[in-house]
Structure 1
Amino acid sequence: MTATATTVLVGAVVAVGVVWLAILSATRASRLNRLHIRVDLARQALFGALERRAVVARAIAAAEPAAPGADTLMSAADAAESAAPAAREVAENLLSAAIAQTDPANRSPALTSELAEAQTRVAMARRFYNDAVRDARSLRGRRMVRWLHLAGHAPRPDYFEITERVTRG
């Protein structure tokens, strides 16, 4: 092989490598973008389920205003709905504890089933959200994504950890 043929061969191999890296980078960046969209949609669904649970808790407190813990339940529901995103987990845990302190015997069967449905939706929405966060963080942790900064300026998603059901105690 002559020097020119070797140069052409090395140039072709480098060009193929660069094209392969560009295609791989584009597919990883596209996948990461879709995962971030999935995280955002799951967060919206989670906050919707949390707001619905707060509305049900408020309805329980309004139905039995003289019941023990009704004031606490009402204020916890208000605090959970108006909490800043950074303080939302704490506020939701306080709401869970306030819900657990109410006596199910004082509730109507309709409110009890409504609360059970709302809590189930919160549990499912939280699992979907945390699954989406896990997938996005896993892809963001890969070497190629970190080295080439394929995540751009998107913030790293965080898990949403709350106590779903608190037993009455």
Structure 2
Amino acid sequence: MTWSEIALVALAVLAVGLVFAWQGASRLDRVHRKVAASRIALDSQLVRRASAAMELAASGALDPASAVLVADAVYTASDIGPVTSPAAALKMDGLGAERERAESGLTATLREALGAPEAVRGLRAGPSGEVVEGLAAAWYRVTLARRFHNEAVAQARRVRRLWYVRLFHLAGRAPMPRTVELDDALPHGLEPSGG
């Protein structure tokens, strides 16, 4: 093999490596953007659920002690604060352990305040039915948004494990994305009734 043939083969290998690197970097960038966008969407749905929970607490549908507990749980979750900038979403650290605990606490408080499925059905049929429906819809959207976010994180992790992504160090110094683990299970009887 002559020097020109060796150089041609080396150039071909280099070109293939560059194509893999470019495609891998583009794909990794897309999934990182998807994780950031899904985190922002999840955050906005959590804020919407907190707003609906506060509306329920203020509606008079709950007994006074439950209303105070729900309002306190909403304030606790709100004090930790939503993601307000895309730069914060790019940290890829989920919502943070403190926020996840606060949101899980709000879920537990709401479940306790709403009570048994019969009580929830009674609230839905009562004068505050629209407020309860709003909470049900917001809560359901939180559940979906968290699932979408965690799937985006899983996809990003799969892409980051590809051999050429690791070989060319395409992730750079970007942290590994984290899933959001919180209790967001809807209580029985609060499943949304319509689209």
Q: Shared fold (TM-score greater than 0.5)?
A: yes
The residue aligned with 1:78 is 75
1:100 to 102, 106, 111: 111
Q: Any residues of structure 2 matched to 1:126-165 within 5 Å, and which?
A: 126-165=146-185
1:36 to 16, 32, 35: 32
| Helix, strand or coil at the partner of 2:26 | helix
Would you say 1:68 and 2:88 are equivalent positions?
A: no
Contact residue 70 and residue 110 of structure 2 kept, 8 A: yes
Contact residue 53 and residue 115 of structure 1 kept, 8 A: yes
Tell me how far apart the structure 1 counterparts of residues 175 and 139 of structure 2 sit (CA, whole Å).
29
Contact residue 139 and residue 186 of structure 2 kept, 8 A: no
TM-score (norm 1): 0.89
The residue aligned with 1:9 is 5
Contact residue 97 and residue 166 of structure 1 kept, 8 A: no
- Give CA deviations for 1:77-114 in whole Å, capped at 9, x if unaligned: 11112226421111111000011012334561101110
Structure 1 residue 133, shift from structure 2 partner = 0.6
Structure 1 residue 147, shift from structure 2 partner = 2.6
Tell me how far apart the structure 2 counterparts of residues 72 and 141 of structure 1 sit (CA, whole Å).
44
1:21 to 10, 17, 23: 17
Percent identity between the aligned chains? 34
Instruction: Structure 1: state its 5+ residue gaps.
Output: none
Would you say 1:125 and 2:145 are equivalent positions?
A: yes
TM-score (norm 2): 0.78
Tell me how far apart the structure 1 counterparts of residues 136 and 172 of structure 2 sit (CA, whole Å).
41
The residue aligned with 1:91 is 102
What amino acid does structure 2 have at the position aligned with 1:71? V
The residue aligned with 1:47 is 43
Give the length in aligned residue pairs.
164
What is the root-mean-square deviation of aligned Cα atoms in Å? 1.8
What amino acid does structure 2 have at the position aligned with 1:14? A
Tell me how far apart the structure 1 counterparts of residues 143 and 19 of structure 2 sit (CA, whole Å).
38
Larger radius of gyration: 1
What amino acid does structure 1 have at the position aligned with 2:24? R
| Helix, strand or coil at the partner of 1:157 | coil
Tell me how far apart the structure 2 counterparts of residues 44 and 63 of structure 1 sit (CA, whole Å).
29
Higher helix share: 1
Structure 1 residue 166, shift from structure 2 partner = 5.3
